[in-house]
Chains A and B, each alone.
Chain A
Amino acid sequence: MKAILRKEINLLFSSLIAYISMAVFFVVLALNLFVFQGNILDSNYATLDTFFTLTPWILIFLIPAITMRTFADEKQTGTIEFLTTKPVSDLQIVIGKYLAALFLWTFTFIPTLIYFIAVKKLSLSEAPIDSGATYGSYIGLYFLGAVFVAIGIFASSITNNQIVAFLVGVFLCYLMYDAFFRISSLTIFQGQLDYFIQSIGLNAHYDSISRGVVDTRDILYFLSVISLFIIGTRTALESRKW
């Protein structure tokens, strides 16, 4: 597993994938937070709300782009046969690759803490920013990215075409993040199933953590979804044996 983790991280950072995806992420964010209309400086409020509502939508596209080659490429070139005939289990392969992509997401995530510091410094008042809610939002955002990574890797494992993997990944990320929330607000579910359907989606749990209350149920939910997609990926990898 360590060997695979090492190889995948080397691959991400020796190719341009890591640098381009990080550059895209920061440029889009910086433009929206500090330059374009409706930016933090114009609004005169010391809050990172824009950052926390915008970032999930960037990640819906960015993370599947990073993970799309994970398995699709190995299947396309046949190196999957090289990997799976080595003395490592299929689950170890999946986890190795997941951790490598998670490492890149962590590496991308940490510098965004600068926005927090920047907004805090720019503010004039004594208690400038709602720290509790902001910390909670950061934790929620990190888990959200971690779930998207698992979804992206799963999408990559069900096809040998990287573009299909990307599109399926975007669709599943969107479905998990926003679609359940939207479905729950359809009138037919009103008052009965709406809360349940909403709580299947990521959005509800992300919002819940963002309020600054780190509830173990939400954390457990994120970890379960990650496990679910990792097991799904292993199943897809083992489907050659059926």
Chain B
Amino acid sequence: MAVSVRNLSKNYNHQKAVDNISFEVKKGEILGFLGPNGAGKSTTMKMLTCFLPPSKGTATVSGLDIVQHPLEVQQKIGYLPENNPLYYEMYVKEFLDFAARINNIIPNAIDKRIKEVVDLVGLNVEQHKKIGQLSKGYKQRVGLAQALIHNPEVLILDEPTSGLDPNQLSDIRNLIKELGKEKTIIFSTHIMQEVQAVCDRVIIINKGKIVADDKPDNLQNVLSNEVLVEVEFLNEVAKEALQNISVIHQVNALASNHFILHGKDSLQIRKAIFDFAVSNNNPLLTVKQETKSLEAIFHQLTQKK
């Protein structure tokens, strides 16, 4: 296991920021850490990077305990903190040189390594500027370059895509995906599409507790106990006629011949609709099963009391 968290808790005074969470991340896995603001995502990451000590429990990174061997753990982790703090008055290369030295890279190898990460994160054009002069997207790349400089086994990225425009967003996501081929990545976000697009696995955390831990696809299937079927007929249909079909629980009309049907069993609904169309001599134009979006699942999981 690249990262293994056991019964980790963190209390701030009387408030439980992280409450007894356990999970494991396999080598080469991309784990999405999802949750509303204040759920405990950042606190968990700060404990994994040895910035804060846990109140209870512990974790290991590449087999090393975060409480007993903080410096060795930090050597194995590349960390992009929330809001990406950087030294704005430093030049990009100067900063990466500092990051390389503080990560104990041997001086002879530094220049070569800086060149590699600059290429990897796509900083070529901007590498001679001061960090403060860069756009937010490029600052984010500098933050990633810094986290990658010592070729760490585990990358921990705290909201790496927040505040980026759509182009920058997809660039950074592709980069994370690319990096995930070799490294173990834990990254936090509150954007659902990102999890669907990038992650192998997702953990949803709310009020310090893990409320879901699964593959993004499974999460959709398991947690949505309701299926939606979109149907379109050639001719008009009375809404009441559809509501009378027993397997359909609810009908939302989009147009006089176009409906969204809610129910439990997609197969039975589709069969009933087909029978209904035949018996009314009203040809079906569309029958489409819709899955509940991760967004809806997220709401469902994080808003219940």
Q: Which residues of A contact B (CB under 8 A)?
A: 2-4, 6-7, 10-11, 14-15, 77-89, 240-241
A81 to B79, CA, bound (A): 10
Q: Which of A3, A80, A84, A85 has the most CB of B within 10 A?
A: A85
Residue in contact with B85 in the complex, picked from A7, A81, A241, CB distance below 8 Å? A81
Given A3-B98, A3-B101, A4-B102, A87-B75 contact (CB < 8 Å):
yes
- The chain B residue with its CB closest to the CB of A83 is B102
A81–B147 CA distance with the chains assembled, in angstroms:
13
Tell me whether A87 and B98 are in contact in the complex, defined as CB-CB below 8 angstroms, given that A15-B89, A78-B83, A81-B51 are known contacts: no
> Which residues on the B side are within 8 Å of A14 (C-beta)?
89
Contact: A86 with B81, CB < 8 Å?
no
Chain A: minimal CB distance from B169 (Å): 22
Return the chain A residue nearest B143 by Cβ.
A82
Mask, B37-56, CB within 8 Å of A = 1, is 00000000010011111000
B103-A86 in contact (CB<8A): yes
Ranked 8 nearest A-B pairs via Cβ: A78-B85, A3-B101, A3-B102, A87-B75, A87-B74, A85-B49, A79-B85, A81-B81
Judging by beta carbons under 8 Å apart, are A240 and B101 in contact?
A: no
B98 near A7 (CB under 8 angstroms)? Answer: yes
CA distance A82 to B146 in the complex (A): 10
Residues in A neighbouring B87, C-beta threshold 8 A: 11, 77, 79
**Interface contacts beyond A83-B102, A88-B71: sample of 19 additional A-B pairs, CB < 8 Å, sorted by A:** A2-B101, A3-B101, A3-B102, A4-B102, A6-B98, A11-B89, A14-B89, A15-B89, A81-B46, A82-B85, A85-B51, A85-B77, A87-B74, A87-B102, A87-B104, A89-B71, A240-B51, A240-B52, A241-B52
Beta-carbon contact of A88 and B102 below 8 Å: yes
- Flag whether B214 is at the interface (Cβ < 8 A): no
Once the chains are docked, how many angstroms separate the CA of A6 from the CA of B98? Answer: 8
A-B CB contact pairs (8 Å), 28 listed? A2-B101, A6-B101, A7-B98, A11-B87, A14-B89, A77-B85, A77-B87, A78-B81, A78-B85, A79-B85, A79-B86, A79-B87, A81-B46, A81-B81, A83-B102, A85-B50, A85-B51, A85-B79, A86-B99, A86-B103, A87-B71, A87-B74, A87-B75, A87-B102, A88-B71, A89-B71, A240-B52, A241-B52
Interface of A is mostly: helix
Residues of B near A15 (CB, < 8 A) are 89
A83 contacts across to B, CB distance below 8 A: 102
Give the contacts of B101-131 with A (CB-CB under 8 A).
101-104
Residues of B within 8 A of A81 (CB): 46, 51, 81, 85
**Alpha-carbon separation in the docked complex, A15 to B89 (Å):** 9
Q: Of B72, B83, B85, B102, which is within 8 A of A86 by CB?
A: B102
B104 partner residues in chain A, CB cutoff 8 A: 87
Residues of A within 8 A of B51 (CB): 81, 84-85, 240
B217 at the interface (CB under 8 A from A): no
The CA of A89 and the CA of B74, in the complex, are separated in Å by 10
Whether a CB of chain A sits under 8 angstroms from the CB of B94 is: yes
Min CB distance A8 to B, Å, is 10
User: Which residues of chain A come closer than 8 Å to B90, judged between CB atoms?
Assistant: 11
The distance from the CB of B240 to the nearest CB of chain A, in whole angstroms, is: 60
- CA of A85 to CA of B49, assembled, Å: 6
Closest residue of B by beta carbon distance from A84: B51
Per the bound structure, the CA–CA distance linking A83 and B81 in Å amounts to: 11
- Distance in angstroms between the alpha carbons of A84 and B46 in the assembled complex: 11
Cβ–Cβ < 8 Å partners of B71 in chain A: 87-89
CB distance from A113 to the nearest CB of B (A): 32
Q: Closest CB of chain B to A190's CB: distance in Å?
A: 48
CB distance from B208 to the nearest CB of A (A): 19
CB contacts (< 8 Å) of B52 on chain A: these are 240-241
Docked pose: A3 CA to B89 CA in angstroms: 17
Nearest residue, chain B, Cβ from A1? B102
Interface centre among B49, B71, B85 (most CB of A within 10 A): B85
Interface string of B188-202 (1 = CB under 8 A from A): 000000000000000
| Complex CA–CA separation, A82 to B101 (angstroms) | 14
Bound-state CA distance A82–B147 (Å) is 10
Looking at the assembled complex, report how far the CB atom of B185 sits from the nearest CB atom of chain A, in whole angstroms: 16
B99: chain A residues within 8 A (beta carbon): 86
CA–CA, A11 to B72, complex, Å?
28
- In the complex, how many angstroms separate the beta carbon of B117 from the nearest chain A beta carbon? 16
Contact call B101/A10, Cβ cutoff below 8 A: no
Residues of B near A10 (CB, < 8 A) are: 94
B53/A86 in contact, CB under 8 A: no
Instruction: Give complex CA distance A225, B295 in Å.
Output: 58
Nearest chain B residue, comparing its CB with the CB of A80 = B85
How far is B95's CA from A79's CA once the two chains are assembled, in angstroms?
12
Q: Which of A2, A78, A86, A241 contacts B74 (CB 8 A)?
A: A86
A241 to B86, CA, bound (A): 22
